[in-house]
Every structure is written in C-alpha cells, then in structure tokens.
Amino acid sequence: MFDVHEMEINFGPQHPSTHGVLRVLLSVDGERIINAKPVIGYLHRGTEKLFEHMAYPQCVPHTDRMDYVASATNNLGFVEAVEKLMGVTAQIPKRAQLMRVILSELQRISSHLLWLATHAIDIGAMTPFFYCFREREQILDLFENYCGARLTLNCMRIGGMPDDLPPGWLDDLEEFTGKFDAAVDEYESLLTNNRIWKRRTVGIGVISPEEAIEWGVTGPPLRGSGVNWDLRKALPYECYSELDFEVPLGINGDTYDRYLCRMAEMRQSNRILKQCIPMINATPAGDIKAKISRVVRPPEGEVYHSIESPKGELGYYIIADGKSTNAYRCHVRPPSFVNLQALPAMAKGHLVADLVALIGTIDIVLGEVDR
C-alpha cells in the first residue's frame, strides 16, 4: 500500500567513526540496517608488492605501516617468520626474546587503549578518550626512549634486537606497570557498570563461536564469543610459555563481552610486563643478537608464521626461492581484514548507531585491512 523506500547511505570513507577510510554501503529502512557492504582498498599501498622488491631487513620498517597503531607486533611477526624460514628461532638470546615480549605487550596495551578511546567516543562517552590517551602517551614515551620513534617503531631485527635497553628504561617501565592497573579501574568505573553503556553494547553484534570460526574471526572478537584460543597459549612463540597469564573469555559474544575481554587483556598484559622485569634483569646486558649471517638469504622453502597481535592472528606467509635476498612472495594475513568481513553478518537488523559500535568493537585499522 505504501511505497517503502530503502535509503542508501554512504557511510564513509570520510566519516568521523569509520576509523580511517572504511566505506560501508548501507541500505537502511528508516534507521534499521538491511544490508551493510564494506568497501575497502582506499589505503592500499601495495605492501606485499614492495616486499618482493626489498631485501628482508628492509621490509621491517614497511611492516610498521600496516597496523600503524601496533607496529611492534607487526615487526615481531615478520622477523619471527623470517627467523623460522632461516631456522634460527632457537638461537635468539633470552634477553632479546624478553625485550620483544615487553615491547609487544606494551604495544598491545597501547593498541587496546586507542581502541577503548575511540570505541567509547563512538558510543558517545567522551571522557574515557582523554583518560586512555593519558596512559597511551606514557607508553609512547617508553617507546621513544627505547627506539626514538613513537608510532612506527621499527624496533626489531631479524635475529634479535637493534639496541639494548637504555639505562633507566626498566625503572620507567616498572613505574608505569605499577600505576596501570589503577588506570584500568578508572576506565571501568566510567563504563563497565554504566547503564547506558550496557544498553548500547549488551546483545549488540552477537556472533556465536561457530560463526566466529567460520568467518575466521580471531583475537578479542573470537574470545569474546567464548573460544579459548590465544596464539600466545596455543602455539607459544618467544618466551610466552614461561610467563604466567590468563586468557580472558566472554560468554555471549556481544559487544559488551568483547569490551570486557579487552579490558581484562590489558590487565593480563600488565601482569606479563611485571613478570618480565625481574626476568630481563637476570639476563646479561648486551646479549641481544643471535650470531647469524648479516646477509639474510634463507633456504628455499615456504613458511606461515603468525603471532597474536592486539587485533587477532597476524600471519606472514613467505616463499623464499633460496637464491635471492628478497622474499619471492610475502603475504600478510591481517586480522583486521578478516575480522571486518564478519561486519555485515553482525550488523544485519541493527540500527545505524549500532553499526558505529560494531566497527569499534571489531577494532580495525585500515592500514592493515588494505595494506
């Protein structure tokens, strides 16, 4: 009887809450989403093509630019994949391993802080943004003191670390870890039991464990659905098997559980950091490089190696032809790209306002989605 018009809305690529240049083509009936189709590629820089034209050590700075809010974990995944390809994983000194763990856990915290800040501001809570940035700033200072860069760290090398920790760095780290739990309490006091926050997140974007695995979702979104799978536990790399931490799990697989998971993950990361400090003090200073050839020319073969990045499973698939110092093929398995694919399934039937919450809860970085 009535002429029902679906409205097409172009959500992005220039939009305050698409976290970069994501574009979502929305068909809406009023404000209810009938279909959401993510359109990506606006930040495609051909990183994989570049990798093929560069020697392995030259690739490390380029990995920074993919998930640019978590560059240390990107470095880690790449150098570990190349080390696996060369078969030198066991030779990495303990101190270098611990430094890698410290940097990647700090990076996990900083990435989660950025996620919380933007997620909260997407849902309209303005203040957590500034609180999160306050702590993130301290982490960036730590990075800066270690490697000189704050965002694109380029802080790992094939076979070890570029430099030893500067004097006093561990004291700064200890001071930070001592304060950080209280900071997480503060964020939680603003949001966790807030009724509006709960109404906006509980039951939104539910994804069952089976569905999550089917879509290849990894990281906090997978654990939010209750699947106990964290690469640091499942296939431990570096010295994670010696560290004591737990994997936070959700139950319902909704936005609220994913929020709780990430909050708990920050606490667990802090716990790891606290354990690392005495461990790294017990290792000889300066022992940060494996004795491997300076020219990286791995044998012919192909490996897939992945680590638990803040967003999920970050994998590198490298084919070496055995003759060249360049990778013949280097493919990146970006967690954001795969997790984003589940967005239409999560968004269907929700309102436009929920789409914003969902983009936030998947925690995408477009640099990584588009590479």
Q: How far apart are CA 68 and CA 304, in angstroms?
A: 22
Question: From CA 224, how far away is CA 69, in angstroms rounded?
Answer: 21
Asked if residue 90 binds another protein (CB under 8 A), the reply is yes
Chain residues 150-189 in contact with another protein, contact rule CB under 8 A: 182, 185-186, 188-189
* Among the residue ranges 120-128, 152-160, 271-279, 280-288, the one whose residues contact another protein (CB under 8 A): 120-128
Which alpha helices (DSSP H) does the chain contain, by range?
47-52, 56-64, 71-86, 94-122, 127-147, 169-191, 195-201, 209-214, 220-224, 231-234, 255-281, 335-340, 343-347, 352-362, 366-370
Angstrom distance (rounded) from CA 318 to CA 103: 24
233 binds another protein (CB under 8 A): yes
Sheet holding 32-39, edge to edge: 7-11, 23-29, 32-39
Contact positions with another protein (CB under 8 A) in 331-370: 331, 333, 337-338, 341, 345, 351-354, 356, 370
Residue with tokens 């570096």: 238
End-to-end CA distance of the chain: 48
Residue from 316, 303, 289, 333 nearest 158 by CA: 289
Contact between 13 and another protein by CB under 8 A: the answer reads: no
| Residue 291 contacts another protein per CB under 8 A | no
Give yes or no for residue 22 binding another protein (CB under 8 A). no
* Rounded Cα distance, 244 and 326, in Å: 38
Nearer residue to another protein within complex by CB, 106 or 191: 191
Q: By CB under 8 A, is residue 278 in contact with another protein?
A: no
Report CA Rg, the chain: 21
Question: Please, which residue, 130 or 166, has the CB nearer to another protein?
Answer: 130
Among 125, 272, 280, 307, binds another protein (CB under 8 A): 125
User: Is residue 298 within 8 Å of 337, Cβ to Cβ?
Assistant: no
Integer angstrom CA distances of residue 142 from 106, 122, 149, 168: 9, 28, 10, 11
Out of 72, 79, 264, 273, the residue judged to bind another protein by CB under 8 A:
264
Residue 278 beta carbon to another protein: minimum distance, rounded to whole angstroms: 23
Q: How far is the CB of 306 from another protein (least distance, A)?
A: 7
* 141 belongs to the binding site for another protein (CB under 8 A): no
Q: Smallest distance from the beta carbon of 69 to another protein, in angstroms?
A: 18
CA nearest neighbour of 267 among 108, 57, 154, 118: 108
Is residue 329 a contact point for another protein (CB under 8 A)?
A: yes
Of residues 292-311, those binding another protein (CB under 8 A): 301-306
The reply to whether omega before 13 is within 30° of 0 (cis) is yes
41: contact with another protein by CB under 8 A: yes
DSSP string for residues in 5-19: PPEEEEE-SS-TTST
3-class secondary structure, 292? coil
Q: Which is nearer to another protein, 167 or 293 (CB)?
A: 293
Q: Does 50 bind another protein (CB under 8 A)?
A: yes
Toward another protein, which CB reaches closer, 157 or 371?
Answer: 371
Q: Which stretch binds another protein (CB under 8 A): 8-16, 70-78, 108-116, 139-147?
A: 8-16
**Cβ atoms 225, 250 nearer than 8 A:** yes
| Token pair listed for 143 | 């990075």
Among 134, 175, 178, 179, binds another protein (CB under 8 A): 134
* Shortest distance, position 54 Cβ to another protein, whole Å: 10
> At 6, which amino acid appears?
E
Binding of another protein at residue 283 (CB under 8 A)? no
Cα–Cα nearest to 311, from 366, 267, 270: 366
Tell whether residue 126 is a contact of another protein (CB under 8 A): yes
Min CB(116)–another protein separation in Å: 12
Instruction: Check binding of 221 to another protein (CB under 8 A).
Output: no
| Closer of 147 and 307 to another protein (Cβ) | 307
